[in-house]
């Protein structure tokens, strides 16, 4: 594997984890949002990753060997959670229904924080890989002098 391939694969991981962190942050920020423009409470979102062959263009994809293990990651979709909202009895709330219940997003804050820590660690791992790749490239240049 050459240095640029390693950097492309790591950078795809950085990009995917950044989008995952943004989605988790949105979930946390809207944990108490009872009304959205679509109507009803905020719905939790989650990203779906997909492994893709590492190729810069279509020509590389066609000419590469089919058994190539080099893959990069990309976000293929952002899925909206369809779980039922949590109902809390708050008859004085402006968004309460006729029975006095307010629909809150079905978001577990502890789960979101655990997901955020996992995404942050994955991001840091990709940064470390990029740093190690850069150090190896600089070492190779020094050997050539």
Q: Which two tokens mark 26?
A: 């949105």
Q: What is the pLDDT of residues 91-108, one digit of tens each?
A: 999 999 999 999 999 999
User: How many separate domains does the chain show?
Assistant: 1
Domain that holds residue 129: 3-31+45-80+107-143
Q: What is the pLDDT of residues 98-137, one digit of tens each?
A: 999 999 999 999 999 999 999 999 999 999 999 999 998 8
Dump strand ranges (E) for the chain.
45-53, 71-80, 86-89, 101-104
Pairing of strands 86-89, 71-80: unpaired
Does the predicted model carry a pTM greater than 0.75?
yes
pLDDT at residue number 144: 77
In a domain, 11, yes or no: yes
Q: Which of 78, 27, 24 is nearest to 49 (CA)?
A: 78
Residue 3 CB neighbour total at 10 angstroms: 13
């Amino acid at each position: 594997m050459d240095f640029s391939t390693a950097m492309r694969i790591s950078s795809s991981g950085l990009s995917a984890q950044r989008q995952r962190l943004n989605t988790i942050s949105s979930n946390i920020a809207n944990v108490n949002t009872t009304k959205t423009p679509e109507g009803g409470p905020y719905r939790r979102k989650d990203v779906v990753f997909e492994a893709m062959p590492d190729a810069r263009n279509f020509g590389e994809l066609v000419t590469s060997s089919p058994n190539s293990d080099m893959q990069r990651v990309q976000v293929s979709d952002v899925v909206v959670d369809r779980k039922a909202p949590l109902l809390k009895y708050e008859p004085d709330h402006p968004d309460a229904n006729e029975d006095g219940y307010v629909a809150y997003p079905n978001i577990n804050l502890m789960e979101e924080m655990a997901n955020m820590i996992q995404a942050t660690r994955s991001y840091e791992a990709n940064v470390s890989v990029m740093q190690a790749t850069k150090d190896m490239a600089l070492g190779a240049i020094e050997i050539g002098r």
